[in-house]
Amino acid sequence: MTTLMINGKQYELDAEDDMPLLWAIRDIAGLTGTKFGCGIGMCGACSIHLDGELVRSCMIPFGAAKDKAITTIEGLATEEGLHPLQQAWIDKDVSQCGYCQPGQIMAAAALLRENPNPSEDEIRTKMTNYCRCGTYLQIFEAVKQAAQFHGEQS
């Protein structure tokens, strides 16, 4: 048994150390907001935060996350409500099929934490997750809206 800390909650997991964190989160902890897209670190559908850092969970062996704080899409909202990015995603109707969107939001959350006021160029180059439905322009717009909200809050 290994203990993982996901979204502030402890999970006891029975898995081999080489199992990618993605599958531990999805199939054992049952948090299926984090998606499987490619398994080779290219698409970003599996994006999560590990000790606050954006990672692609299909590339991290489960054993390497033992003593770290894991945040998934399910842990992004707080008691006060949705994360400003989630709200922006809703306001802008970003999602089409929606499969890539949890990963997109996690990537955007990391970007805004690093730089609460990113330029258009930064958004376009730092948001690297794939979207097969082609929602990229809406994603850029939603990140901008959430950044603005951030600005007004501070």
Partner 1 sequence: MSTLSNLSMTRRQFLGTAAAGAGVFVLGISLPGCAKVDEQGEGVINAFIGIDENGVVTFQNPFIEMGQGTYTSIPAIMAEELDADMAMLKVVQAPHGPEYRIMFNNTTRFTGGSFSVRSSYMTMRKAGATARAMLIKAAADTWRVPPGECTTEPGVVIHRESGKKLTYGELAPLAAKLNIPADVPLKDHASFRLIGKPVKRTDNRVKATGEAEFGIDIKVDGLLYAAVKQSPVFGGSVQSYDQDAVLKMPGVVAVEEIPNGVAVIADQYWRAKKALEQLPVTFDEGDNADFSSKSYLEKLKAALNESGVRVENVGDADKALSEAAKTIEAVYHAPFLAHQTMEPMNCTALVTKDHCKVWAPNQGADFVAKVAAEITGLKLDTIEVITPFLGGGFGRRFIMDYTAQAVTLAKKHPGRPIKVIWTREEDTQHDHYRPMTAAKYRAGFDAQGNPLAIQITTAGEGPSGRLNPEFLEDPAIDESIFEGGPHQPYGIPNKRAELVNVPVKPLPIGYWRSVGNSQNAFFKESFIDEMSHAVSADPVEFRRNLLTEQPRFKKVLDTAAGMANWKSEVWQDENGIKHAMGVALHESFGSIVAQVAEVALDDGDIRVVRVWCAVDCGFAVNPAIVKMQMESGIVFGLSAAWSEEITLEKGRVMQSNFHDYPILRPDQMPDVEVEIINSGEPLGGIGEPGTPPIAPAVCNALFKLTGQRVRSLPLSQYTF
| Residue 71 touches ligand FES, criterion: CB under 6 A | no
Among 15, 133, 145, 150, binds ligand FES (CB under 6 A): 133
| Residue 143 touches ligand FES, criterion: CB under 6 A | no
| Residue 61 touches ligand FES, criterion: CB under 6 A | no
| Residue 36 touches partner 1, criterion: CB under 8 A | yes
Characterize 98-113 residue by residue with b for buried, 16 or more Cβ atoms within 10 angstroms of its Cβ, and e for exposed. ebbbbbbbbbbbbbbe
Candidates 114, 3, 7; CA nearest to 71 is 7
Specify the DSSP element, H or E, that contains 135: none
Among 7, 72, 95, 138, binds ligand FES (CB under 6 A): 95
Nearer to ligand FES, 99 or 140 (CB): 99
Cα distance between residue 127 and residue 111, in whole Å: 8
| Residue 16 touches partner 1, criterion: CB under 8 A | yes
Q: How many residues does the chain have?
A: 154
Among 4, 70, 110, 131, binds partner 1 (CB under 8 A): 131
| Residue 134 touches partner 1, criterion: CB under 8 A | yes
| Residue 19 touches partner 1, criterion: CB under 8 A | yes
Binding at 69: pick from partner 1, ligand FES, none (beta carbon under 5-8 Å per type): none
| Residue 100 touches partner 1, criterion: CB under 8 A | yes
Specify the DSSP element, H or E, that contains 102: helix 101-114
Among 98, 126, 144, 148, binds ligand FES (CB under 6 A): 98
Candidates 68, 147, 49, 146; CA nearest to 106 is 49
Ramachandran sector of residue 82 (left: φ over 0; alpha: ψ -120 to 50; beta: rest): beta
